[in-house]
Structure 1
Amino acid sequence: MWRDKDGVAILSWFSKDVEQVLNELQVNQRQGLTDAEAQSRLGTYGENKLKSKPKKSIVALFFSQLKDMLIYVLLGAAVITLLIGEYTDSVIILLVVILNAIIGVFQEFKAEKAIEALQKMTTPRALVRRDGDVVEIDSKDLVPGDIVVLDAGRYIPADLRLIESVNLQIEESALTGESVPSEKDASHVFEDPKTPLGDLANMAFMSTLVTYGRAEGVVVGTGMNTEIGKIAKGLDETQTEMTPLQKRLAELGRTLGYIAIGICALIFVVALIQKRDLFEMFLTAISLAVAAIPEGLPAIVAIVLALGVTRMSRINAIVKRLPAVETLGSVNIICSDKTGTLTQNKMTVLHLYTHREFFDVPDEGTATASKRTQEKLIQTFVLCTDATLVDGESTGDPTEIALLVLGEKYHMPKRELEAGHERVAERPFDSDRKLMSTLNKEGSRYRVHTKGAFDNILKIATYALVDGEKVPLSEQLKADYHRAAEEMSDQALRVLGAAYKDTDEIIEPEDMEKDLILLGLVGMIDPPRLEVKEAIRQAKLAGITPVMITGDHQHTAAAIAMQLGMATSLGQTISGSDIDAMPEEEFKQKIGNYRVFSRVSPEHKVKIVKAFQSHGNIVSMTGDGVNDAPSLKNADIGVAMGITGTDVSKGASDMILTDDNFTTIVSAIKEGRNIYNNIKKSVVFLLSCNLGEIVAILASVLFFWPMPLLPTQILWINLITDTFPAIALGVDPGDKDVMKKKPRDPKESFFAGGAALRAVIGGSLIGILTLVAFYFGLNEHGYQLWSGSIPEKVLTYAETMAFVVLAVSQLFYSLSMRSASHSIFRVGLFSNKYLIGAILLGIVLQFAVISVPFLAAAFHVQMLSLQDWVIVILFALIPLLVNELIKLGMRVRNKQ
């Protein structure tokens, strides 16, 4: 159906023939729309995308931050203080709540924008004909009337009336629930307007998947005016799912919450026994609960993950699922495709081979085929392709593009050949057969052209063309071809074979690849990427084993692998047929011996992944084809190719490489490790700060000392000195040596490696030094912690010293949290500008609170003497210095 702007059905496209449809939409199939017309229609019909529920406004985001039990408690405290006339405390509590909500809004907004940016980068692409040329565009830019080119592995980008189809099958379970692919035929016309959706063989619908064959269709519905759009109305497809790390931290937060509530109850009971001011202790208990419960952890983890994956997108790795970031740090096996990932994906034909004759293909310029067999060989390779090459602009598979370039060098461009040899049928390439065949007109007869993996060509050929004569393909001839293929493979060349046969009539696709005449071979090279060798060296240093998986010949694959340092000998390679011949248990036992898997099918990939995983390995697997989806799903990290990958492989993956480069996988693992470490730094820092506050307050209550901190002061510290440094630690540049360490065990506790001990030591020190500063403030005026009737002015001075030490010690301590083992000078004192900014901001705000009269009065603090400033700064530096000394001791012990 095509609907108008109000969604009303105005045309039943399936009931009209192809010519009528094209006339109605005012488009020529061979030319497509002009760019100007496409832009005009885009203005009329809008972008081709499904609308979701309206996004939350800033105001709605703000109020959603207030939906928290602790916030309710704080608001209750603000009301109580207001009722008893403590207006300053009420204002401060409300300001803290508002500031906390603003920071939450900023975090959520930033995370949402980062995810939106990633979604834009993963917008599906569509092949369309515009101004006579086939170009690839974002599917959101499609308009009614666009001519869309379809092939196996692509999702249908809009509702289409098919205008041409060859062996087309589409999986439509997204719409019909039918899991078996539907056969499609563009020539059908359905007159019954009530024909069920699943029976419309001349239509293709948005979000369904081409599983076989190829076709062209004209867009008849976009966006919400599609069949899937009807289903999407009123639904919001976006789902927010917490990562395993966020879930663990939320659980930790709940546990700490229960502990904090217990401590608050204890404080209240002790206060009752000691006959303290119950209202003051009530406020203290509330503020302590807020300080003790790290309710900001999930939010900080979310923003660190979102910013981290945005940073990864800049290095060409788009992470689709946030849990993948955590898994990346544990990857110890990278299974990588060869073509395009380890190599440059710029195939060039170097040699032609017909029986016992090698021909060198010129690097530049043109040449003439010296023999008829050679001419037929090139002609078959050019006609048996789906790629295009016009005026240097190409689309399609790089291997096929290389064959078209070969044709142009020998004065046989595809356009000219097709003009006299029209394609009438075909059998598309299949990753199991590793073959492709076309049936083209040859005068009054027809000719089958077949190209593909040399081994598979030999299996289906029964004759060979020798000196222009058709002769039976004897074992001796096969041996000659095998020798030629191995000679090219040993030079790291990819070898393809070609064969043909003539027929008097159009034959079925299944009959094309029988009794063929072998023409010859081509040897083409896809040189290794220059940067990959260094990336492989880095991966090995990081405890990661790189493995090559390819459909290429064993010798070709081994030659490239040895050039790159992935393998050391031919003994480390195994072919798909050898895998099939080996019992599964034996294959699992021997999997660690292999670094190159050649001549493999997508089914082998799943077997390889499971074999590696059976030894407890965390496996990353690359893929680009439709049939790669199972192996991408089975791998711990599925990595799809952004350039050559099909929509199916991208849909099944956890990560997409926009440059199809192996080096990007290694860079992504490095980034993933650093993101996890940064989150760990933020969490340990927050817990240390919270513990310091608990130690100071709890000790004062238990020993019946005066309270060193007021509730409003605790809330201020919790907001300023916790949140900003924690976020800054989350975007730390990371450890330069992170790739010199082994992958992280996914079962490893979040507090492994002494993190819990560091949090306890750091937090205890901060708390004790806060009490020591409080004692110094009292002692300067002739009072002790146990003195009775301490004057208000003296108490305020001592509280100020404790207040400054607690805040500034946390700020300084954040510097030491940047590395668990290296000194702050080794990591670079100023290398994290955000952290330096957070510390300076915290110190400036802290100084403003005690020096600006109305702020000082509000927080019950006063200006300190120069001598006391020196004392509090020295105290504040101690946790930083102690942590640095502990790290020094660890380094010395490790060296010994």
Structure 2
Amino acid sequence: MWFSQSQEEVLKKLDVNPSKGLSSAEAKSRLEKYGQNKLKSKPKKSLIALFFSQLKDMLIYVLLGAALITMIIGEYTDSIIILLVVILNAVIGVVQEYKAGKAIEALQKMTTPKALVRRDGEAKEINSEEIVPGDIVILDAGRFVPADLRLVESANLQIEESALTGESVPTDKDANSVYEDPKTPIGDKSNMAFMSTLTTYGRGEGVVVATAMETEIGKIAKILDEDNDEMTPLQKKLEELGKILGFVAIGICVVIFIIALIQKRDLFEMFLTAISLAVAAIPEGLAAIVAIVLALGVTRMSKINAIVKKLPAVETLGSVNIICSDKTGTLTQNKMTVVKHYTYNKLSDVPAAETSLEASGDTIELVKSLVLCSDATYENGQGTGDPTEIALIILGDKYGLSRNSLNTKHNRVSEKPFDSDRKLMSTLNKEGNGFRVHTKGAIDNLLKISSSALVDGKIVPLTEDMKENYLKITEQMSDSALRVLGVAFKDTDSLIEPDAMETDLTIIGLVGMIDPPRLEVKASIAEAKTAGITPIMITGDHKNTAVAIAKELGIAESIEQSLTGAEIDEISDEEFSKNINNYRVFARVSPEHKVKIVRAFKSHGNIVSMTGDGVNDAPSLKFADIGVAMGITGTDVAKGASDMILTDDNFTTIVHAIEEGRNIYNNIKKSVIFLLSCNLGEVITVFLSILFFWPVPLLPTQILWINLITDTLPAISLGIDPGDKDIMKRKPRNPKDSFFANGAAFNAILGGSLIGILTLLAFYFGLHEHGYSLGSKNIPEDVLTYARTMSFVVLAASQLLYSLSMRSATKSIFKVGLFSNMYLIGAIIAGFILQLGVISIPLLANAFKVHNLSLMDWGIVILFALVPLTVNELFKLVKSLLKGKSEE
């Protein structure tokens, strides 16, 4: 813990003289000992290993089994189709994993290529990779810090550390500070400088105490490099479904053979029948349909400024019930803004834009002095310099006092730069025939060197009561998490030395500034809370500032709902996890704390989203169920570790993405339940025919045709169904709920049973028309073909029409809108045309062993096909009426 030791102790331990630095020989020796100063990552998986890892899934095993079965029965085309689906899914997975591995590479690129060090008594510029512990590094404005340093010298040194701490304001550094508390947060270690942060002001020197993976940014790289292969809720559901289907298929085959032995049937014939049932039990197109629906969802989300890197992340969004958000740049605008100003007895809010209102003379003098006593620039929406000073220049623009016009009129002739001990800055500018000193800084320090005050345009003596008044307003502003800056002036007839500037001043007033919330975020947070989602703020900023922003946005209600990183360290992991739901704001936290917070929320079964933009956010972005990076202000590291990137850096987009994710999950569920209903109908048809010693109504090729062609088009159309407008008025679904929760299992069984029974009934009618029954022996082949054609058409048509009823589990097709999903209408029409083509075109009819039907039989077929749709709609109506009565 270098920050807790004095400069002398650190230099002695590292055996280096700061005036001479290391010798070239010693530096070479240490480079061999410690290695190069660059971040490392674990060996990458080969493309082949990545490919085979994609195949470790029960549903994939089931699909491969289906391919083998279709190959056995000679349907090679179907086998090829199924194998292509498996290969396509694996290739997509490989591409996604390869892209995700870019996070560490982005971290490596962040290390600076050059660094200024002192070696052999001379200042030399070297590659940062050659830096070793003990090197003396020289820092000045504009230079990146090449390694973790214990500062040994600092002069007005400020370093921008937002990538590590989340703070939008550069941190003042003091080489002479020593911190005895071992749990001092990174943002408070003013005697340290960290790798990949930026020097913005002043100069300093530091001795390297850590390089490469031992630096703070290196620790982040280690966290990012850990394996975290936890499955998304959708992947878990599909794996669970795949196992069920696999066991069902095996079970069916076993049952069939037992029945065959009891009934003394031909075993080869029963083997082919068992294959028919196994094929019926497996929805071959399921994996492809889910992939297509997710891919279409990704395309839709890109239009609302959300770029999804991993397909399952679309669905994961739908079950999110905790959004952990970084403050700076995500909930706030990431720019300091003056929001209040005060001259004696006049506290005013600053207008949001330029104002033509008449400002009092005191306010004009206040703003004028602040602008003249600043080194920043701001033109065409772009600022350079300290964020606090940029805010002052923007304040001047709002009151028509631009920096350029003021500096032209009141030329600066001398200055006394800011000093962290004085906490003041002064400039001497032309004022009429004389000069004026403008001094800004800490209000308590200004009051000590002021003897008068500007009140209503007049200079009056500064009394103790007036001082107390200024300090009272300062305290009020500080309690509101505003950063307070005072300003004073004095006139002089002649040039004065810098040391004589800061005496006998006239206090003008003070301003309060803050990094303000984004304008649209408050409404988005209210919408999220209505949808049962809890927003959490996680920031490296100070507690009071964070809580003030959280209160304004509606995230927190009191400071009791906040916790600092130091306080987290004092609590055991068990206690922290137990009480995690009591907190809404976490301040002054490190990257390790962020991961701990995410894990604590996840331990309660929550689905957690984490948003952020800095390097410090990357580990928690990776460990969250879904990591969301900012596209504009986000670092490459954050983007690489995330699942989704917001191209507009807008928190509101997250809420829209969650709404989209919920609808996508619902659509996938519709597709899955529809496919399983259809497959259940096929299983019932074949199983009952075998159980009662009837002829088999469907051939394996006919079942495959329906599974791969007729079912697939409506299933995809259901997958892109327009969203439910009321989706964000409901709580997030329980991620533990299966696809069959909330009555979905009943719907699947009801629909499947009706489809199966009606298919058998159609088969019976086909036989009956020719004078045969289900129990008849030696039925002619042409009669069987005709009866099978009727069952084949009823099965296909009933499934096509039943898809209309699957659009909503509670609303009728008329309430949802019969033609509100034209893709589904098109799919149904296309399905009927394909089915008509199969039985009408001789080549296809021979291949599928079907026959054209009479006009009367077409009427019977359509009538039967309408029954599952009608029954399901009547069931929804009854259910709705009963619900209405119970609510009364």
Pair in the same fold by TM > 0.5: yes
State the alpha-carbon separation in 1 of the partners of residues 56 and 543 from structure 2: 59
1:464–1:473 Cα contact (<8 Å) kept: no
2:326–2:537 Cα contact (<8 Å) kept: yes
Cα deviation, residue 553, structure 1: 9.7
Cα deviation, residue 675, structure 1: 2.0
Which residue of structure 1 aligns with residue 198 of structure 2?
213
Which residue of structure 2 aligns with residue 698 of structure 1?
687
Deviations 1:180-215 (A, max 9, x none): 99985479xxxxxxxx9999x9xxxxx999553338
Q: Do the aligned partners of residues 350 and 533 (structure 1) sit closer, same or farther apart at CA in structure 2, a change above 3 Å counting?
A: closer
Of 874-883 and 690-699, more deviation after overlay is shown by 874-883
State the alpha-carbon separation in 2 of the partners of residues 71 and 634 from structure 1: 31
Which residue of structure 2 aligns with residue 722 of structure 1?
711
Give the number of equivalent residue pairs: 730
User: Where do 1:29-428 residues align within 5 Å?
Assistant: 90=74, 93-101=75-83, 156=109, 160-162=113-115, 185=138, 210-214=195-199, 243-271=232-260, 274=263, 276-294=265-283, 296-320=285-309, 324-334=313-323, 349=338, 351-353=340-342, 363=354, 375-380=368-373, 382-383=374-375, 389-394=378-383, 401-406=390-395, 409-413=400-404
State the alpha-carbon separation in 2 of the partners of residues 115 and 634 from structure 1: 15
- Equivalent position SS for 1:318: strand
Cα deviation, residue 723, structure 1: 2.8
Q: Do the aligned partners of residues 157 and 865 (structure 1) sit closer, same or farther apart at CA in structure 2, a change above 3 Å counting?
A: farther
1:423–1:440 Cα contact (<8 Å) kept: yes
1:548–1:561 Cα contact (<8 Å) kept: no
2:611–2:629 Cα contact (<8 Å) kept: yes
State the alpha-carbon separation in 1 of the partners of residues 640 and 423 from structure 2: 29
User: Where do 1:289-688 residues align within 5 Å?
Assistant: 289-294=278-283, 296-320=285-309, 324-334=313-323, 349=338, 351-353=340-342, 363=354, 375-380=368-373, 382-383=374-375, 389-394=378-383, 401-406=390-395, 409-413=400-404, 463=448, 465=450, 467=453, 477=467, 479-483=469-473, 486=476, 495-497=483-485, 521-523=510-512, 532=521, 534-546=523-535, 566=554, 572=558, 600-602=587-589, 620-627=609-616, 637-647=626-636, 649-650=638-639, 653-688=642-677
- Equivalent position SS for 1:697: helix
Query: Which amino acid counterpart does residue 717 of structure 1 have in structure 2?
Result: I
Which residue of structure 2 aligns with residue 861 of structure 1?
850
Cα deviation, residue 860, structure 1: 0.7
Query: Which amino acid counterpart does residue 412 of structure 1 have in structure 2?
Result: R
Deviations 1:91-128 (A, max 9, x none): xx122223444556676778889999x989x999xxxx
Q: Do the aligned partners of residues 842 and 439 (structure 1) sit closer, same or farther apart at CA in structure 2, a change above 3 Å counting?
A: farther
State the alpha-carbon separation in 2 of the partners of residues 876 and 425 from structure 1: 84
- Equivalent position SS for 1:497: strand
User: Where do 1:727-766 residues align within 5 Å?
Assistant: 727-766=716-755
Q: Do the aligned partners of residues 182 and 807 (structure 1) sit closer, same or farther apart at CA in structure 2, a change above 3 Å counting?
A: farther
Query: Which amino acid counterpart does residue 250 of structure 1 have in structure 2?
Result: E
- Equivalent position SS for 1:743: coil
User: Where do 1:1-16 residues align within 5 Å?
Assistant: none
Cα deviation, residue 744, structure 1: 1.5
Query: Which amino acid counterpart does residue 601 of structure 1 have in structure 2?
Result: R
Deviations 1:735-794 (A, max 9, x none): 221112112122333321122222222222211111111001111111100011111111
2:370–2:438 Cα contact (<8 Å) kept: no
Which residue of structure 2 aligns with residue 779 of structure 1?
768
2:763–2:788 Cα contact (<8 Å) kept: yes
Query: Which amino acid counterpart does residue 872 of structure 1 have in structure 2?
Result: V
- Equivalent position SS for 1:389: strand
State the alpha-carbon separation in 2 of the partners of residues 80 and 463 from structure 1: 95
Cα deviation, residue 683, structure 1: 2.0
Query: Which amino acid counterpart does residue 786 of structure 1 have in structure 2?
Result: G
TM-score (norm 2): 0.65
Matched, 1:791 2:780: yes
1:494–1:553 Cα contact (<8 Å) kept: no
State the alpha-carbon separation in 2 of the partners of residues 826 and 155 from structure 1: 56
Higher relative contact order (CA 8 A, sep 6+): 2
* 2:835 aligned to which of 846, 849, 853: 846
Deviations 1:671-700 (A, max 9, x none): 222222222222222222221111111111
Cα deviation, residue 402, structure 1: 3.6
Cα deviation, residue 645, structure 1: 3.9
- Equivalent position SS for 2:307: strand
Q: Do the aligned partners of residues 591 and 476 (structure 1) sit closer, same or farther apart at CA in structure 2, a change above 3 Å counting?
A: farther
State the alpha-carbon separation in 1 of the partners of residues 678 and 600 from structure 2: 45
State the alpha-carbon separation in 2 of the partners of residues 680 and 649 from structure 1: 32
Q: Do the aligned partners of residues 697 and 404 (structure 1) sit closer, same or farther apart at CA in structure 2, a change above 3 Å counting?
A: same
TM-score (norm 1): 0.65
Gaps of at least 5 residues in structure 1 are 1-51, 82-89, 125-138, 141-153, 166-173, 188-195, 202-206, 217-226, 229-235, 428-434, 452-456, 507-515
Deviations 1:819-855 (A, max 9, x none): 2212222222233333333322222111110000111
State the alpha-carbon separation in 1 of the partners of residues 279 and 386 from structure 2: 59
State the alpha-carbon separation in 1 of the partners of residues 817 and 714 from structure 2: 16
Query: Which amino acid counterpart does residue 277 of structure 2 have in structure 1?
Result: L
Query: Which amino acid counterpart does residue 377 of structure 1 have in structure 2?
Result: L
State the alpha-carbon separation in 2 of the partners of residues 666 and 185 from structure 1: 46
State the alpha-carbon separation in 1 of the partners of residues 538 and 280 from structure 2: 52
State the alpha-carbon separation in 2 of the partners of residues 324 and 422 from structure 1: 56
State the alpha-carbon separation in 1 of the partners of residues 423 and 87 from structure 2: 58
- Equivalent position SS for 2:244: helix
State the alpha-carbon separation in 2 of the partners of residues 780 and 476 from structure 1: 107
Q: Do the aligned partners of residues 440 and 287 (structure 1) sit closer, same or farther apart at CA in structure 2, a change above 3 Å counting?
A: farther
Matched, 1:819 2:808: yes
Cα deviation, residue 540, structure 1: 3.7
State the alpha-carbon separation in 1 of the partners of residues 243 and 614 from structure 2: 44
- Equivalent position SS for 1:775: helix
Deviations 1:116-173 (A, max 9, x none): 9x989x999xxxxxxxxxxxxxx99xxxxxxxxxxxxx874587335799xxxxxxxx
2:785–2:850 Cα contact (<8 Å) kept: yes
Gaps of at least 5 residues in structure 2 are 1-43, 119-127, 141-145, 152-162, 165-193, 202-211, 214-224, 430-436, 490-496, 500-504
Query: Which amino acid counterpart does residue 160 of structure 1 have in structure 2?
Result: P
Cα deviation, residue 329, structure 1: 3.0
State the alpha-carbon separation in 2 of the partners of residues 322 and 679 from structure 1: 13
Q: Do the aligned partners of residues 715 and 280 (structure 1) sit closer, same or farther apart at CA in structure 2, a change above 3 Å counting?
A: farther
State the alpha-carbon separation in 2 of the partners of residues 706 and 537 from structure 1: 62
1:377–1:520 Cα contact (<8 Å) kept: no
Q: Let me know the Cα RMSD of the aligned residues.
A: 6.1
Of 873-882 and 408-417, more deviation after overlay is shown by 408-417
Cα deviation, residue 353, structure 1: 3.5
2:293–2:719 Cα contact (<8 Å) kept: yes
Cα deviation, residue 716, structure 1: 1.1
2:233–2:735 Cα contact (<8 Å) kept: no
Of 761-770 and 543-552, more deviation after overlay is shown by 543-552
